[in-house]
Amino acid sequence: MRDGGRLSAAIEVLSEVESRHRPVQLALRDWGTSHRFAGSGDRTVIGNLVYDALRYRQSLAWRMGSEEPRVLVLATYVLTWEQGLERLKTVLAEDHHAPEPLSETEEQRLAEAPEGTPEAHDAADVPAWLWPSFLEVFGENAEAEGRALATRAPIDMRLNTLKSTREKLLKRLAHAGAEATAIAPTGLRIAAKAGSARMPHVQAEEGYQKGWFELQDEASQIVSLLAGAKAGEQVLDLCAGGGGKTLALAAAMENKGQIYAFDADRLRLAPIHERLKRAGVHNVQVRDPASSKLDDLKDGMDLVFIDAPCTGTGVWRRRPDSKWKLTEKALADRVEDQARVLDTAAGFVKPGGRLAYVTCSVLPQENSGQIKAFLERHPEFSVRPALASWQGLFGTDKDPAYAGELGDLLLTPATTGSDGFYFALLERSA
Ligand SMILES: C[S@@+](CC[C@H](N)C(=O)[O-])C[C@H]1O[C@@H](n2cnc3c(N)ncnc32)[C@H](O)[C@@H]1O
């Protein structure tokens, strides 16, 4: 395919996503199935166009005066990918699979920005209803934080210290451009590429098959380390899902002690068995919600880890479509879920034990607001300042920008180069 056909395909897929509310990944897969002549290079370009149009939907819509899929895709090609107006006009003229030629207005808007300035939330590609929350958390940095959450994410990997070393992995993955991450000592990163470029498929690497590394954002690695799980401890991973944090905790505990991995949704928990095997983890007991209760763990855990169900506003770089789909109702539901999970978790912490609370959201309602409310309901808990643990683990030269008065931390793409993650560590009085 040439660029003209790829642009048409991206418009078709984006229309499907917007009008039928289909998840992008499914819409792209279905397009691929019904257009078998398209090669993997074509699919990459089409996917990149669709995802980038969604990343910058609001700022492009302001620039173009329209949020039609066609307009967003053409603007992505000319402006975000910097292919230029003349190149687009040539592509449209030369390929009979290309979209219709440009209208006068489209050409004018692509050539120059309209007068005036966009509102801050439009410039930052943050939904208007979430802007007050962004201002509350980030203040004058809100626009920069929104913009950073719109960019493409790198591929981050976590070295499995049970099986390999970072030095060895860096050598193995040098051909893919992997480098050490700046903060987590377990992290390796392949930087995001621009435009039509394809990211390497690291799951095909021998090292992945052998369990030497896992795909995991650096922020996830950092919060797993900040929980301070030690060899020999009793740990409950209460929202274990597919086990990403469980594996990181197990490695930090050097495979010693016991982790109980639980999730309310057994389907989400299902992949954990295979992952534990591949990673060579032996200290995890998976508790299936359908067949086992957790009563025997009451008041007995050194650490309860809550990777809470959340809105995912911190991972917009990886799921740009979720940014525009999020509703006030969904946020309210997650806030309720989180309060419930926190109350449940409290019952498993032993006197003197810890409770780590993590979200991949940057919204105060799900983070500091949730912790403040929990502390009021549970006076037997207090906050253990996370910054001191951070400095002990990562040094004093890269403090996170958002270390709250509460003793909590917020990581963001703009400040730590990671996904947006919140972390608070609480301690039960002895
Ligand atoms: C952010 S995801 C967990 C991701 C996982 N820890 C990982 O690292 O791959 C949140 C999980 O919380 C689970 N969950 C929601 N409500 C829950 C509850 N009341 N008790 C336990 N798990 C719950 C969801 O099923 C979901 O899998």
Mean pLDDT of the region 32-60: 96
The mean of the pLDDT values for the chain is: 97
Query: Would you place residue 296 in the very low, low, confident or very high pLDDT band (cuts 50, 70, 90)?
Result: very high
Q: Which residue's CA is the nearest one to ligand 1's atom 19?
A: 341
- Is residue 3's pLDDT more than 90? yes
- Is residue 213's pLDDT more than 90? yes
Query: Would you place residue 167 in the very low, low, confident or very high pLDDT band (cuts 50, 70, 90)?
Result: very high
Mean pLDDT of the region 386-404: 95
245 lines ligand 1 (CB under 6 A): yes
Percent of the chain at pLDDT above 70? 100
Residues 6 or more apart whose Cβ sits within 8 Å of residue 143:
120, 123, 124
Mean pLDDT of the region 320-325: 95
Query: Would you place residue 202 in the very low, low, confident or very high pLDDT band (cuts 50, 70, 90)?
Result: very high
Query: Would you place residue 293 in the very low, low, confident or very high pLDDT band (cuts 50, 70, 90)?
Result: confident
**Residue pair 241/344 in contact by the 8 Å Cβ criterion:** no
CA angle, 430 then 230 then 163, to 5°: 165
- Is residue 430's pLDDT more than 90? no
Mean pLDDT of the region 64-78: 98
* Chain length of the chain: 430
Mean pLDDT of the region 222-238: 98
400 lines ligand 1 (CB under 6 A): no
- Is residue 89's pLDDT more than 90? yes
The interface pTM score, or ipTM, of the predicted complex is 0.99
360 among known catalytic residues: yes
pLDDT of the residue at 291: 85
- From the list 349, 360, 410, 426, the catalytic residue is 360
- Is residue 318's pLDDT more than 90? yes
Mean pLDDT of the region 184-190: 98
Q: Which of 239, 297, 338, 340 to mutate to test the pocket of ligand 1 (most atoms within 8 A of CB)?
A: 239
- Domains annotated for the chain, with CATH where assigned, are 3-113 (1.10.940), 155-215 (3.30.70.1170), 218-428 (3.40.50.150)
pLDDT of the residue at 348: 98
38 lines ligand 1 (CB under 6 A): no
240 lines ligand 1 (CB under 6 A): yes
Global pTM reads: 0.97
- Is residue 292's pLDDT more than 90? no
45 lines ligand 1 (CB under 6 A): no
Indicate the annotated binding residues for S-adenosyl-L-methionine.
Answer: 263, 307
Q: Which residue's CA is the nearest one to ligand 1's atom 20?
A: 264
Q: Compute the distance from residue 309 Cα to the ligand 1 centre, in Å.
A: 5
Alpha carbon distance 345, 358 (integer Å): 13
